[in-house]
Chains A and B, each alone.
Chain A
Amino acid sequence: MEQVVAIAGEEHHRGHPALAHHFHDMEQQHESIKLGVWLFLVTEVLLFGGLFCFYAIYRAWNPEMFTQAHQLLDVKLGAINTLVLIFSSVTAALAIRSIQLDRPKQTAMFLVVTLLCAATFLVIKYFEYSHKIHAHILPGELFAYTHLEGVANPHIFFSIYFAMTGLHGLHVVGGMVFLGFVLIRTLQGTYSSEYYIPVEMGGLYWHLVDLIWIYLFPLLYLVG
């Protein structure tokens, strides 16, 4: 072991408390975790990819219905949410940047802003959903909205809308839980420019959540 450490020339990293026993040095650990997170993001893309496929197929089959049905969505709220998420992506990136510069207080502040944006997104989504539920604009068999005459099977659009935004919403909640955990650890002083993998992981994940919404918004709210 000594020999290998000497070869790698990472002697000063060896003793870091966050280094797991099976890695040679911090660099190997960091690289491994980063690759793992990217692979995880790939699985997320494929999970949503399935839904995007369903969307593409049903839209190709029912272009007219999609144009009609999407008008029941509130473009203004969707647009606000898009801006909120894009802004939160910037703050998430700044959180990583500041921990690389050894400024944990700034990191914590940026994380708080990111979390507030996420909460704003969910609140707006809540108003959108409850409006839909009151108007009986629901997926599949539950759909009972009567003012869309002459349009065949509009419930399919809302099945896809609720499946996609619902799954995305769950991912927002998941991201908040993880970023909240990172915030607590940041306040405890766990992270520094030497070791900030969880901050980076949280940031990467949050970008993906935003990116998915950036596709969802035009596809669902801006049809035709």
Chain B
Amino acid sequence: MHSSPPDQNFLSHPKGLASWLFTLDHKRIGIMYLILICLAFGLGGFFALSIRLELMRSGEQFMDQDTYNKFFTLHGAVMVFLFIIPSIPATLGNFCLPLMLGAKDVAFPRLNLASWYVYVIGAAFTLFSVVTGAVDTGWTFYSPYSTQSSTSVISMTFGVFILGFSSIFTGLNFVVTIHKMRAPGMTWYQMPLFVWGTYATSVIQVLATPVLGITLLLLILEKTLGIGIFNPEMGGDPVLFQHFFWFYSHPAVYIMILPGMAIISELIAVHSHKKIFGYKLIAYSSVAIALLGFLVWGHHMFVSGQSEFSSMVFSFITFFIGIPTGIKIFNWMTTLYKGQICLTTPMLYALAFLILFTIGGLTGIFLGALGLDIHLHDTYFVVAHFHYVMMGGTVIAFLGGIHHWWPKIFGKMYSEFWGRIAFVFIFLGFNMTFFNQFMLGSQGMPRRYHDYSGLYKTDLFERYHGFSSYGAMVLGVGFLIIATYLIASLFNGKAASNNPWGGLTFEWATSSPPPTENFREEPIFKHGPYDYDKVLPENI
């Protein structure tokens, strides 16, 4: 095996833009994804802030209702399809997975690069619709809104169709990598839990995305040729679109959250230096969530006119998902018990995840209850719920993961001081923005309204909305601080040691940043990923 010289790593060698654009190295592809995904998050955040500013007071502020409809559609579509679905798997997953398995790369490096380019093309189509008049249907593209809307639905749905391929490529690649590329001696139950979570995610990506693909194709055919499948005037059924859409999009919720949970398992074990409690249960619960996730799509459709019997069944299975989720939460908390907890920035995010995701998960149970959902459906309660899951869960975990692996990826330490300051902004800002939206929703404020003057509780709504908008600004400042000190650390950060947190998984055994071929010597599996009771990690 030819090793690169000790001073060379995957970042420094080879040089030049072309060496990045044509790279087959999973670590570089992960960074290329990271750049685009941060841009997408910035764009989605811009739309979010605009929406919050418009809603700060009752009455029209600075955009008319059509613009408002377009802005919330773009916020949703950009955040869901361009940011959160690829976020953790394509960036940290790409970077960490082969390292954690002790492999030199993912199974199909070319497919990996292709997925990045397909993402770029899909994003181009999705964003092209912004230039040509945007889309006003909401990110769910429900028919008949979408079939009758004169906005550029075709460009955006085609973009999302293409993005699906990117997602499938990543998922397929990871499944094969996990099955076939583990280091000699590493069994399934010796894999880090991050790998288990990524595995469950990838399975959903492979199984659910094609169904969204065909649904969007039929929607495009409906709009172009008028095939009538979703058009009741022609004997079609618009509710079928909802069924097919949610058959993908509910499992997609787990494409978003399972990688977050995967990160949390690592953060909690490593930053409390304790063997993870209930390894197998955490691993199995990821798979259980992935599989049960395919059976609950109808809980988005309690008011769509589906039969009461199917609503009951969907509601019942939805409650069931609380069980594996609860198992995870309890196992993480038990891991913390009597651990040597270091309140590093990654650990702060992990603890925040436990709080915020629990709120998000429990309010999901409220919404899964048939009677209550009739009251809360399409109100801000739903908005608050899924932001607690998606942002309080996935984005918080993503931030924790970025800080955790930053030293490994770039070989530089970020500023722990600024990291904690920014965390306070994020945690407070997030709760300020979204907690009162639970109250807003339970008081009856409908979602997606451009203007709430004239509603019977306008004064109350205005107070909640106003507070929410201030919270969004605090949140925005938090993200700006993070971006500033992370970028600054690339230039003047302290050099990171190989194992700054005392992790036991393979990625901490190689240099920071790793050499192009990942390990200078083939790693051999000697101890479990969380054997803190047996092994003392070096360099703590």
Binding site for B on A (CB under 8 A): 1-4, 7, 20-22, 28, 31-33, 35-36, 39-40, 42-44, 46-51, 53-54, 57-58, 62, 139-142, 152-153, 155-156, 159-160, 162-163, 167
| Bound-complex Cα distance A160 to B225 (A) | 13
Tell me the complex Cα distance, A20–B112, Å.
15
Q: In the complex the two chains form, what is the Cα distance from A153 to B237 in whole Å?
A: 13
6 smallest CB-CB distances across A and B, nearest first, come from A153-B235, A141-B226, A50-B214, A140-B227, A1-B1, A159-B227
Q: Which residues of chain B come closer than 8 Å to A54, judged between CB atoms?
A: 218, 229, 240
**Contact (Cβ within 8 A) B225 A139:** yes
Taking CB atoms and an 8 Å cut-off, the chain B residues in 180-214 that contact chain A are 180-181, 184, 206-207, 209-211, 213-214
Nearest-Cβ distance from residue A70 to partner chain B, whole angstroms: 16
- Interface locus among B39-47, B103-111, B451-459: B103-111
- Chain B minimum-CB-distance residue to A31: B180
Judge whether B522 is part of the interface by a CB distance below 8 angstroms: yes
User: Please, which residue of chain B has its CB at the minimum distance from the CB of A141?
Assistant: B226
Q: B522, A1: Cβ atoms under 8 Å?
A: yes
Which of B107, B111, B206, B240 contacts A43, CB < 8 Å? B206
Q: How far is the CA of A141 from the CA of B224 in the complex (A)?
A: 10
A39–B210 CA distance with the chains assembled, in angstroms: 12
Q: Is the C-beta of B179 less than 8 angstroms from some C-beta in chain A?
A: yes
For the A-B complex, the count of residue pairs with Cβ-Cβ distances under 8 Å equals: 117
In the complex, chain B residues whose CB is within 8 Å of the CB of A53: 244
Minimum CB distance partner of A40 in chain B: B172
A152 touches B235 (CB 8 A): yes
CA A33 to CA B181, docked complex, whole Å: 12
Contact of B236 among A4, A32, A46, A156 (CB under 8 A): A156
Main SS class of interface, A = helix
- B238 adjacent to chain A (CB < 8 Å): no
Q: Given the complex, which residues of A lie within 8 Å of B168, measured CB to CB?
A: 43
Interface bits B139-182 vs A (CB < 8 Å: 1, else 0)? 00000000000000000000000000000100011011001110
Bound: A78/B227 CA distance, A: 23
Residues of B within 8 A of A (CB): 1, 103-105, 107-109, 111, 168, 172-173, 175-176, 179-181, 184, 206-207, 209-211, 213-215, 217-218, 221-222, 225-229, 234-237, 240, 244, 522
Known: A46-B207, A156-B236. A39 touches B172 (CB 8 A): yes
CB pair A36–B176 under 8 Å, yes or no, is: yes
CB < 8 Å: which of B211, B227, B522 contacts A4? B522
Told that A35-B180, A51-B214 touch, could you supply 5 new A-B pairs with CB distance under 8 A? A3-B522, A42-B207, A50-B244, A54-B240, A160-B229
In the complex, what distance in Å separates the CA atom of A2 from the CA atom of B3? 13
Contact A163 B218 (CB under 8 A): yes
- Chain B residues lying within 8 Å of A142, measured Cβ to Cβ, are 225-226
B168 to A, closest residue via Cβ: A43
A53 to B244 alpha-carbon distance, docked (Å): 10
A43, B168: Cα distance in complex, Å: 8
6 examples of A-B residue contacts, CB within 8 angstroms: A1-B1, A50-B211, A54-B240, A139-B221, A142-B225, A156-B234
B-side contacts of A163, CB under 8 Å: 218, 221, 227
CB B243 to nearest CB in A, in angstroms, measures: 9
Given A40-B172, A155-B234, A156-B235: A141 and B228 interface contact (C-beta under 8 Å): yes
Bound-complex Cα distance A148 to B36 (A) = 54
